[in-house]
Structure 1
């Protein structure tokens, strides 16, 4: 299946001191993370941003994958970074934040810190409980992508939301919520004041559930869900670099 132009994975080999694994969101692509990755690369971080299985091609392909496929891809990249970098960080947007939390739960101190942007661990939508049943008869529903306040900014993502894949994401949410106390790494969490995709309860559940001693929440006043492409992107990039540099220095 051909990859959409702009959806390709990217990487940069920089310093061995610090590496960053970037994790994009559900139905999205590495395009939503590329400006962040370029910012990190310019500051000599080693960067990897894979294209998650089923993403960046055509939406029916995503229905043929499940959360262990997405997680397995990121796990492989994390292990590769661990081989070359002294400190490894995981930065994630939306579902990328969910997967970042799962990696933190499994890898413990091998991850130096987390930066999450509008991470998802649940939804208040009533029809979400019906996803396993809907997936048997309904391949897709309207898209959740491109929630951006900045005029002219566009997220490269699917025009439909695959239902079976969404049901698998809901399974991942349950696992991550149950294991939030296993997260002890330093955590920087960005939350958009207005987000039409991920409800505020998600950030609250994460912040109240983790056992990290070093936790910072930053509220984004000028961005919607895809904040890495929105007005507050420079703030996210700058604060994430400061956060990573502080952790490297403390280690």
Structure 2
């Protein structure tokens, strides 16, 4: 199947500091592309993969599971680590959960992480029944484009494939159990008004990670896909400042790139 316009994966080789960007469930790299461009303009090496089953049609996602999505970001991290002296990982929604698992498993290979409205649990009254319902109903209405900004649009599916949703539920339980293994410095930005992932997920993550250098930032003007919303520029700037704090060479490279 051809990839939807705008949903293509993206890679740019810049300086010695690299950032891996992880998109969300049923979404695509389009939701993070402005973030990627911002970092590239400041001299960073950036990898923004397209997760398996995403960016084409929702039926393709029915055939994939969390192991496929995680394997793709793990592969991208390995490539980035071979190219860069320091690597950071950023994620939106389920991409935040992928980021947390990478951090738990790779330790010092990741210098720091940035999470935007990270998912910790599949919510809703139907969630406990997913193991059964997924065999009776193939999909439910989509969750994309939860954006406060007028005209904001996310390239994602208009349906949620329930086999994949069940796998996501299992994955989030696994990540939750591994949160104490996350020790890296982290920035967590979340929207009080989020119609996809409630703020309780961010609170749960902050309460369970072992990181001691933690910054929490509220995105008061944005909904779930905050990287395409009113607070996008703040997310980009805060994340770049975070990178420069732990990799000063990125600030120097950025000055050269900007010049």
Shift of 1:5: 1.0
Normalized against structure 2, the TM-score is what?
A: 0.95
Q: Does 1:66 align with 2:65?
A: yes
Q: Does 1:182 align with 2:178?
A: no
Q: CA offsets, 1:180-233, max 9 Å, x none?
A: 100000000001010000011100110000000100000000000000000000
Q: CA offsets, 1:13-52, max 9 Å, x none?
A: 1001x10000000000000000000000000000000000
Which residue matches 1:101?
A: 100
Shift of 1:175: 0.5
Q: CA offsets, 1:127-186, max 9 Å, x none?
A: 111111111111100111110000011000001011010000000111111111000000
Aligned 8 A contact 1:20 1:88 in 2: yes
Which residue matches 2:248?
A: 249
CA distance in 2, matches of 1:103, 1:128: 25
The within-5 A match list for 1:103-142 is: 103-142=102-141
Which residue matches 1:5?
A: 5
Q: CA offsets, 1:30-75, max 9 Å, x none?
A: 0000000000000000000000000000001001000010000000
Q: Which runs of 4+ in 1 moved over 2 A?
A: none
Structure 2 runs not aligned, ≥5 long: 250-259
Shift of 1:125: 1.2
CA distance in 1, matches of 2:74, 2:241: 25
Which residue matches 1:56?
A: 55
Aligned 8 A contact 1:123 1:199 in 2: no
Which residue matches 2:14?
A: 14
Aligned 8 A contact 1:27 1:59 in 2: yes
SS at match of 2:126: helix
CA distance in 1, matches of 2:236, 2:97: 19
RMSD: 1.1
SS at match of 2:113: strand
